[in-house]
Chains A and B, each alone.
Chain A
Amino acid sequence: MSGAAMQDLTAQVAYHLARRARWRGLEYVFWAAALASVFFLPAKHLILNEIAILALFALSLDLLIGYAGIISLGHAAYFGFGAYAAGLIAKHGLIGEPVLALLVTGLVVALLGFITSFLVLRGSDLTRIMITLGFSLILREVANRFAGLTGGADGLQGVTMAPLLGQFTFDIGGHVAYMYSLTVLFVMFLVARRIVYSPFGLSLRAVQGNALRAAAIGIGVNWRLVAIYTIAAAYAGIAGALLTQSTQFCSLDVFSFERSADLFVVLVLGGVGYLYGGLVGAVLFKITQDWLAGLTPQYWQFWVGLTLVIIVLVGTERLSGWLRAIRRLAFKGQG
């Protein structure tokens, strides 16, 4: 290939990448709506805060499943680890300022994710499912047994948060907490968006499509999976840390299997593999949960289960096909 043609090709690739990564109209609408909720729904800030945290957690799983094809049934391990890490940091006054503590927690959980990724990435889907599940159960046991440090079954108590950036004190109505969580979500989303539209993100998609072929065209499969697993772990850890920071409490159920399983529901509701799935799913999930729990407080899990079964029987491909059709309509005129 001559130099000119090569340059031409590079330019074309760069053009297409930029085009893919362009912000679409509906994305502006989504974030404008999120911003509006800060001002127009002050009474709902507590649940909105939960939604933002769940959305960040779901975003983390979406990076794993939707972009790398790794099924993890124990993603709550990193969420819980982040939650406890943030709680302990605040309780013992290691780092007073919440944002800094959040960053440190993210790094610590990323390290945990990096170490464990080598265990997880061996073997087939089934092996991965079991190792992730086992790992989250082990962490739960650890938190349960080391009651002196974690408070055991009573949960971690006595966590008091310093004012955010030294200015804003966390209030009982969750206003500061929601703005904090939403900001973190937005920043983390921007980072995730940057990642998935980068060449690295594209190569991940190739690995997800067919790891063998990806390796054959010179994509290092393993280190890419390790990298995305580490990133996803950090995201989950930061979501967990947000939960502890905004509720000033953390209990063993951050590690529970239900938390990992619910996350699947969130992702399936919202759709896998286009970043907004976790966000939209979190909104739908929390609203439905709130509504159903009001109707049948004890049995709402039944409806969660039914939703999953129906969605699978209808077919996620078909559902995402409908979604794609809707999106195509919505983005008409933009190409």
Chain B
Amino acid sequence: MLTILFDGIAYGMLLFILACGLSVTLGLMNFINLAHGAFAMAGGYVAVVVVNKLGVPFYAALPIAFLAPALLGALLERTIYRPVYARSHLDQVLFTIGLVFMSVAAIDYVAGSQQVFIQIPPSLEGRFEVFGIGIGRYRLLIIVVCGLLAAGLQYGLANTRFGSRLRAAVDDPRTASGMGINVNAVFGVTFALGSGLAGLGGALGAEILGLDPQFPLKFMIYFLIVVAMGGTSSVTGPFLAAILLGIGDVAGKYYMPKLGAFVIYTIMIVVLLWRPQGLFSRTTSR
């Protein structure tokens, strides 16, 4: 029982890291980025290549899995994403679905369509027992890393200069730029950061979620659920939503394997109908 809770929390933490970038793009720019999972997949594949092919240690591969998608994200944001910000939602959906299809086919072409596995160090394999709770070492690592990142994000958003600029840009881009904040640059950096975090999540999650070219399509709905349930106005909202979703999904698959996927989708639809602005969002609408 508690083991399931533990696994669920690890899963939820992972979902949070994967999706928090999306909550920023959606909240900040009101931009529907269905291609967010593609950055996560990019991070995962980068990690697989550097660990398995180049023999880089697993821990050293994680920063690379962050940096590569972050750079890719910054580049794409600069070149092709920015013109689409001001477009209609239909255009944004079309554009990002297009990117998803391209990334799926490109990874398929480069790496093949089968699932790939990352070699994790032996010290992370297996599980140990604390007070009767089975704790997987790898999942513990995920919880520690993602927990630290979440705390860091919360601190960064609440207490740093960049954080306050970002919040200003969220609330009112026009006034923010009137106050001398370079809103475009803030957006660009945030986008890159979000893509990098997704990439890191993809690398960490390769072991648990599985990694194949269909990744962005398979998990798109999960990211959207996290963002929609968590609202887009804070870090804590998506965080709690991700944890809930993680626990719900793991428990659902364990106790009701026949109904596993229904539970999640049904919860999502009910939540969206009940509180279209998200479970944990401020009551004011954007």
- A residues with a Cβ closer than 8 A to B are 65, 71, 73, 119, 122-127, 129-131, 133-135, 137-138, 141-142, 145, 257-258, 261, 264, 268, 272, 298-302, 304-309, 311-313, 316
Contact = CB atoms under 8 A, between A and B. Distances in A.
Contact of B93 (A71, A301, A302, A309): A71
Interface stretch (B62-70, B97-105, B138-146): B97-105
B26 A126 contact: yes
Interface in B37-91: 80, 83-84, 87, 89-91
Q: What's the dominant secondary structure at chain A's contact region?
A: helix
B26 A312 contact: no
B95 interface: yes
Nearest to A256: B217
Contacts of B84: 312-313
Contacts of A313: 80, 83-84, 95
Contacts of B32: 125-126, 129
B150 interface: no
Interface in B220-272: 221, 224-225, 228, 258-259, 261-262, 265-266, 268-269, 272
A261 B272 contact: no
Interface in B18-36: 26, 32
A134 B109 contact: no
A80 to B, nearest CB: 15
Given A135-B265, A138-B266, 13 more contacts: A127-B228, A127-B272, A131-B269, A137-B265, A145-B259, A261-B97, A264-B97, A306-B102, A308-B95, A308-B101, A312-B91, A313-B80, A316-B90
12 contacts: A122-B276, A127-B272, A130-B268, A138-B269, A142-B262, A264-B93, A264-B97, A298-B109, A301-B105, A311-B94, A312-B91, A316-B90
Contact of A307 (B89, B93, B98): B98
- Of all A-B residue pairs in the complex, the 9 with the closest CB atoms, nearest first, are A308-B98, A305-B101, A302-B105, A305-B102, A123-B276, A312-B95, A309-B98, A125-B89, A305-B98
A119 B273 CA distance: 7
Contact of B269 (A119, A268, A307): A119
Which interface residue of A125, A131, A134, A258 has the most chain B CB atoms within 10 A? A134
Given A122-B273, A302-B105, A312-B84, A138 B262 contact: yes
B106 interface: yes
A35 B32 CA distance: 42
B168 to A, nearest CB: 23
Contact of A261 (B101, B228, B262): B101
Contacts of A131: 269, 272-273
Nearest to A308: B98
A305 B93 CA distance: 12
Q: What's the dominant secondary structure at chain B's contact region?
A: helix
A68 B88 CA distance: 14
A46 B269 CA distance: 39
B268 A141 contact: no
A261 B94 CA distance: 8
A126 B87 contact: no
Contact of B89 (A123, A126, A311): A126
Interface in B98-146: 98-106, 108-109, 113
A257 B268 CA distance: 17
Given A305-B98, A305-B101, A312-B98, A130 B106 contact: no
Given A299-B109, A312-B84, A304 B272 contact: no
Nearest to A65: B90
A299 B102 CA distance: 9
B91 A316 contact: yes
Given A71-B89, A264-B93, A312-B84, A134 B98 contact: no
Contacts of B113: 298
Given A305-B97, A306-B102, A311-B94, A138 B265 contact: yes
A145 B98 CA distance: 31
A135 B93 CA distance: 18
A130 B228 contact: yes
A134 B108 contact: no
Which interface residue of B93, B106, B261 has the most chain A CB atoms within 10 A? B93
B225 to A, nearest CB: 7
A305 B107 CA distance: 13
Given A299-B109, A302-B101, A305-B102, A129 B93 contact: yes
